[in-house]
Structure 1
Amino acid sequence: MRIEITSKQMTITDTMRRKIEERFQKLEKLQVPLINPHCIITKEPQGVKIEAKIGVSNGKVFAHAEHDDLYIAIGQLFQKIERQLNKYSHKDEASRAKNNGKNLCRTGDISGQISEDENIEVESDVEIKMNNEFLS
């Protein structure tokens, strides 16, 4: 995979490039094809800002992070990207689960009515203790 890394106001060192490439390799475990990943590193008065734009099969993923330390900002950026890619890869499963609940309501297997049955007995090992803090 070819990763494009550009920078404004600073030079990209080998360790910076290696760190970003390692994080992109970790994203490959999600098995989402990454199309033209591009990172932009900018030096700002508050610290360092890093942005990433990645094409996926039906759209794009974009994230940015700011921090005083570049490597912490890279870690934060890739956590955001990983969350987005995870959501993207499980989107069809979430849609199926959502539609399955609707179908159960339509067929009458479950109803939206609250059960007022007093004969339901709940077994629990939890003992509730009242504390003076909660009584006032």
Structure 2
Amino acid sequence: MIIDITSKSIDITPTIRERIENRFAKLEKPQIPLIKPQVIITREKQDYKVEAKIGVPNGQLFASEQHEDLYAAINGLGHKLERQLRRHHTKPITERVDSSLDVNQSASSNL
């Protein structure tokens, strides 16, 4: 997967790139295609701010994390994206279950 990593305030070293790529590799486990992932790293006073935007089928994920340690911010961002991806993945299933219950209830009320 190709991840677009940009930063105006710091240089993107190979270790930073590797950490981000490893974190995003964990996001591919649910077999949901990630479309054009973008990561922006900025330095704000004492903290690092890491933002990510990822396209997924029928939606888009966005997360932001701020921390003193860049690697901790990357890990926190990964956790937020994992939760959003899990929610996005299970959402259609719950909607289908709810809609089938509505159909059954309306059919029984017509009798």
* Structure having the higher Rg: 1
Name the amino acid aligned to 1:38: Q
Please list, as runs of the form range in 1=range in 2, the aligned pairs for 1:69-88 lying within 5 A after superposition. 69-88=69-88
More helix by share: 2
Q: Identical aligned pairs, as a percentage? A: 49
Number of the residue aligned with 1:60: 60
Aligned to 2:41, what secondary structure does the other structure show? strand
Greater relative contact order structure (CA < 8 Å, 6+ sep)? 2
Number of the residue aligned with 1:48: 48
Aligned to 1:38, what secondary structure does the other structure show? strand
Give the Cα–Cα distance (whole angstroms) in 2 for the partners of residues 100 and 69 of structure 1: 47
> Any stretches of 5+ residues in structure 1 without a counterpart?
110-136
Name the amino acid aligned to 1:40: I
Give the Cα–Cα distance (whole angstroms) in 1 for the partners of residues 36 and 81 of structure 2: 14
Give the Cα–Cα distance (whole angstroms) in 1 for the partners of residues 29 and 17 of structure 2: 20
Name the amino acid aligned to 1:47: D
Aligned to 2:60, what secondary structure does the other structure show? strand
Please list, as runs of the form range in 1=range in 2, the aligned pairs for 1:1-136 lying within 5 A after superposition. 1-108=1-108
Q: How many residue pairs were aligned?
A: 109
> Any stretches of 5+ residues in structure 2 without a counterpart?
none
Q: How much has 1:102 moved relative to structure 2? A: 2.6
* Aligned-CA RMSD value: 1.6
Q: How much has 1:107 moved relative to structure 2? A: 4.5
More strand by share: 2
TM-score (norm 2): 0.89
Name the amino acid aligned to 1:65: E
